[in-house]
A and B are shown apart, each in its own frame.
Chain A
Amino acid sequence: GESVGLHLPTLSVQEGDNSIINCAYSNSASDYFIWYKQESGKGPQFIIDIRSNMDKRQGQRVTVLLNKTVKHLSLQIAATQPGDSAVYFCAETSNAGNMLTFGGGTRLMVKP
């Protein structure tokens, strides 16, 4: 669910390492999930999505894993680069697919 009142947790990784960002959701009726990347001062940008009939989806250097049993979503970034530094949000749909609710977000910092 939403955690808009909390400061963003930070994940710090070394350049070239893999990153794993986690997200918990609360609505068991949600059936579509999206990961967004937000750079400072900009709007969120789509990274990858997954529907609830899947448990894994891969993109270019990114993989999303969905565990519906425990309502958990993760984003894996392979060979993390400095350009990956940003805030990452998971989002879920609810209310017959018209609402998009965001998780609290995680700040990823990549050390060169």
Chain B
Amino acid sequence: SQTIHQWPATLVQPVGSPLSLECTVEGTSNPNLYWYRQAAGRGLQLLFYSVGIGQISSEVPQNLSASRPQDRQFILSSKKLLLSDSGFYLCAWSQGLARGTEAFFGQGTRLTVV
């Protein structure tokens, strides 16, 4: 069966520090991968998605970046965090939404920038 792992679960970082959140998927190959951010009490905002290794599409301009160095690994990074980067970050995968299969989410990383 397929599983998605996201870590760390919580993170407190000072303003101006770098960020690296990692997401890995097991049990499938060539998945579509997604990074979402959710502010407290808000909806989910799509940040990046990837349809293959090295292929990243950015939906929202910001000081975050994403990389996909391996087929089932998706990394969210920042060189210098801002206070506004605080939020709940969710990684998700799908085997092809166009084929009518849903996206599966990790348990999220709660990031607090202080």
A binds B: yes
Instruction: Give every chain B residue within 8 A of A46 (Cβ-Cβ).
Output: 102-104
Closest-CB distance, A31 to chain B (whole angstroms): 8
Instruction: Give every chain A residue within 8 A of B46 (Cβ-Cβ).
Output: 2, 99-102
A96 touches B98 (CB 8 A): yes
A43 touches B106 (CB 8 A): yes
**Main SS class of interface, B:** strand
Please give the number of chain B residues whose Cβ is less than 8 angstroms from any Cβ of chain A in the complex: 32
Q: Which of A89-108 contact B (CB under 8 A)?
A: 89, 91, 93, 96-105
Q: Which of B32, B41, B100, B104 contacts A32 (CB 8 A)?
A: B100
Q: Which of A34, A45, A97 has the most CB of B within 10 A?
A: A97
The answer to the question of B96 belonging to the interface, with a C-beta cut-off of 8 Å to chain A, is: yes
The answer to the question of A70 belonging to the interface, with a C-beta cut-off of 8 Å to chain B, is: no
A66-98 interface bits toward B, Cβ cutoff 8 Å, 1 = contact, 0 = none = 000000000000000000000001010100111
A1-23 interface bits toward B, Cβ cutoff 8 Å, 1 = contact, 0 = none = 01111111000000000000000
Q: Which of A2, A36, A91 contacts B45 (CB 8 A)?
A: A2
